[in-house]
A = this chain, B = another copy of it.
């Protein structure tokens, strides 16, 4: 029952990407990492500002339209195929729709052995880190901190409020078979 996919879900500035890089460093085999940011970068620039694509509002809100959903469905199938073809894959996600988002991935991943990890962070701490990073719309950390976990089921949860990315990565790695 070798783990084939690790899905990390958490709000913006919760620290998922840092944990992911640490995981890639501590896991014994090479793992590929893909996230919703990879998908957004792959889309036409016009999709990042249209109602049918993905829109970032000045206060940190994010809304996703029908064309985004269509491409995302194909993306999930493709990532699942990579894992079935033997590539170990870490998915770095923001489940804006909570349980509904998880279902989309569960459906695509099917019977792949998947480790579901929740990455939590106190919203005030995440908001401070968002300012420290300086590359994000202010407000995303707070608006996403709780909503992305609604109804989502995990094998493991980590909390970056007081734990370093490397500590969280080691805790996750210990659950990878």
**Which residues of chain B are near A85, meaning CB under 8 Å?**
73-74, 77-78
Asked if A131 contacts B166 (CB within 8 A), the reply is yes
A32 to B, closest residue via Cβ: B42
Q: Which of A18-26, A95-103, A112-120, A142-150 makes up part of the contact surface?
A: A18-26
Asked if B42 contacts A134 (CB within 8 A), the reply is no
User: Using a Cβ–Cβ cut-off of 8 Å, how many residues does chain A contribute to the interface with B?
Assistant: 50
Q: Is A154 an interface residue (CB 8 A)?
A: no
**Which residues of chain B are near A32, meaning CB under 8 Å?**
39, 42-43, 71, 74-75
Q: Do most interface residues of chain A lie in helix, strand or loop, or is the interface mixed?
A: helix
Q: How many copies of this chain are found per oligomer?
A: 4
**Which residues of chain B are near A45, meaning CB under 8 Å?**
21, 24-25, 134, 138
CA separation between A30 and B47, bound complex, in Å? 8
Distance (Å) between the CB of A139 and the closest chain B CB? 13
CA separation between A71 and B44, bound complex, in Å? 26
Which residue from B78, B80, B132 sits with its C-beta under 8 Å from A165?
B132
**Which residues of chain B are near A167, meaning CB under 8 Å?**
128
A73 to B, closest residue via Cβ: B85
Q: Is A105 an interface residue (CB 8 A)?
A: no
Distance (Å) between the CB of A122 and the closest chain B CB? 10
A26 to B, closest residue via Cβ: B131
Asked if A33 contacts B42 (CB within 8 A), the reply is yes
Q: Which 5 pairs across A and B sit closest by C-beta, in order of nearness?
A: A18-B132, A128-B166, A78-B82, A74-B87, A24-B44
Chain A interface (Cβ < 8 Å from any Cβ of B): 15, 17-19, 21-22, 24-25, 30-34, 38-39, 42-47, 53, 67, 70-71, 73-75, 77-83, 85-87, 125, 128-129, 131-134, 138, 164-167
> Given A74-B81, A131-B166, 17 other A-B contacts at CB below 8 A?
A17-B132, A21-B131, A22-B131, A25-B45, A25-B131, A30-B71, A32-B75, A38-B38, A70-B87, A73-B85, A74-B83, A75-B82, A78-B85, A80-B81, A129-B164, A129-B165, A132-B165
